[in-house]
Amino acid sequence: MNDVVLTGDRPTGPLHLGHYFGSLANRVELQGRYPMYVLVADYQVITDRDTPGEIRRNTTELVLDYLAVGIDPARAVIFQHSAIPELNQLLLPFLSLVSVAELQRNPTVKDEIAHSSQRAVSGLMFTYPVHQAADILFCKGTLVPVGKDQLPHVEVTRLVARRFNERYGPVFPLPQALMGEQPLLKGLDGGKMSKSRGNAIALSATEDETAALIRKARTDSDRHITFDEERRPEVANLLTLAGLCLGRSPRELAEEIGDRGAAELKRVTTEAVNEFLRPIRKRRAELDEGDVRRILAEGNERARERAVRTLEEVRQAMGF
Ligand code: TRP
């Protein structure tokens, strides 16, 4: 079978180093080997907030992040939900294939509801995993590189594909989640790396912003630097970050730094991160909003052609 890769992100803010080492690096590697679609999941932004906010700006920044890290529009189709009516129309038949009880059981949805600041839980909150099935199935995606929290959604997608095929005939492949071996990169305060917690280094951060964030990073009172994830998580996290940027082992870095303490650890980390981000910043500086518009227009056109064909197949199979 010919594999097709589909991945995506909600355009809610800048991507950071956690995204890079968790998934972007993997995408850059996959794009030469398989046809690849990269989705700017703009309709999914409104699942857990009342308005899309600065959707246009966030979309531009997201695509700039993609291009800066080396996702190549000549090899990957970069497109938006909101530009592909035929993708969205798949939601109707797909919703008919799952029960309300199944929607309510989704652990990621439950977790998001628990953390949502919305006063009322919207219907979209329960149904967006089925919309995500449309994201994956419109292009007959077979490989879905995602983090652990997205596994339930890939399960929903498999369920929808299987039931559709059983009921109407074989149309969809059953996609598979691709979990990279993601080194767990925490934020600079030891919590989950996330833009909203102010503990993340954005790919678009300047050298000075990067230095300031690392200067503020939490460490501990033991002057001798060692790599001990259990007992010294903050120090271990800086070592991990520096190690990822340098392509070296955190343990080895710890031995080199030794008695020179947290100040030296931060100096090494800052230099490593800034060196690592240099080519990414350079590529980003060469691009502007016009490039993004042109790339999205092309990607949307290609994705739409694909969606038109799939929707036609679906309607035929269903007898419309
Ligand atoms: N839900 C994903 C996230 O929050 C984004 C997303 C939307 C996605 N559609 C997708 C991921 C399809 C993989 C496949 O990160």
Say if residue 125's pLDDT is above 80.
yes
Whether residue 243 is predicted with pLDDT greater than 90 in this model: the reply is yes
pLDDT of residue 260: 96
Residue 10 CB–ligand 1 contact under 6 Å: yes
pLDDT-based confidence at residue 195 (cuts at 50, 70, 90): confident
Stronger pLDDT, 182 or 274, i.e. the higher one: 274
pLDDT at 119: 84
Residue 180 has pLDDT above 80, yes or no: no
Answer yes or no: is pLDDT of 198 > 90: no
Mean pLDDT for the stretch of residues 300-320? 98
pLDDT score for 292 = 98
**pLDDT band with cut points at 50, 70 and 90 for residue 189:** confident
Mutate to test the pocket of ligand 1, among 5, 6, 9 (most ligand atoms within 8 A of CB): 9
Q: What is the rounded average pLDDT for all residues in the chain?
A: 94
The reported pLDDT for the residue numbered 313 is: 98
Nearest-CA residue for atom 5 of ligand 1: 9
CA 309 to centroid of ligand 1, rounded, Å? 22
pLDDT digits (tens, 9 = 90+) for 293-304: 999 999 999 999
Q: Is 39 in the pocket of ligand 1 (CB under 6 A)?
A: yes
> What's the average model confidence in pLDDT over 262-286?
97
Atom index in ligand 1 nearest the CA of residue 10 equals 5
**Distance of CA 143 from the midpoint of ligand 1 (Å):** 13
Residue 6 CB–ligand 1 contact under 6 Å: yes
Cα of 73 vs centre of ligand 1, distance in Å, is 19
How high is the pLDDT of residue 183?
61
Residue nearest to atom 14 of ligand 1 (CA): 7
Q: Between these two residues, 116 and 167, which has the higher pLDDT value? A: 167
**Gap between the Cα atoms of 129 and 44, Å rounded:** 9
Q: How far is the CA of 8 from the centre of ligand 1 (A)?
A: 5
Instruction: State if residue 133 touches ligand 1 by the CB under 6 angstroms criterion.
Output: no
Long-range contacts, 56-63 (Cβ 8 Å, 24+): 58/11, 58/12, 58/13, 59/11, 59/292, 59/296, 60/289, 60/292, 61/11, 61/13, 61/14, 61/204, 62/9, 62/11, 62/14, 62/15, 63/292, 63/295, 63/296
The finding on whether 175 has its CB within 6 A of some atom of ligand 1 is: no
Sequence-separated (6 or more) residues with CB below 8 Å from residue 306: 37, 138, 139
Nearest CA to ligand 1 atom 15: 9
Which residue among 10, 65, 178 is best mutated to probe the pocket of ligand 1, counting the most ligand atoms within 8 A of its Cβ? Answer: 10
Q: Is the CB of 144 under 6 A from ligand 1?
A: yes
What is the predicted pLDDT for the residue at 190?
A: 78
Q: What confidence score (pLDDT) does residue 57 get?
A: 96
- 146 CB near ligand 1 (under 6 Å): yes
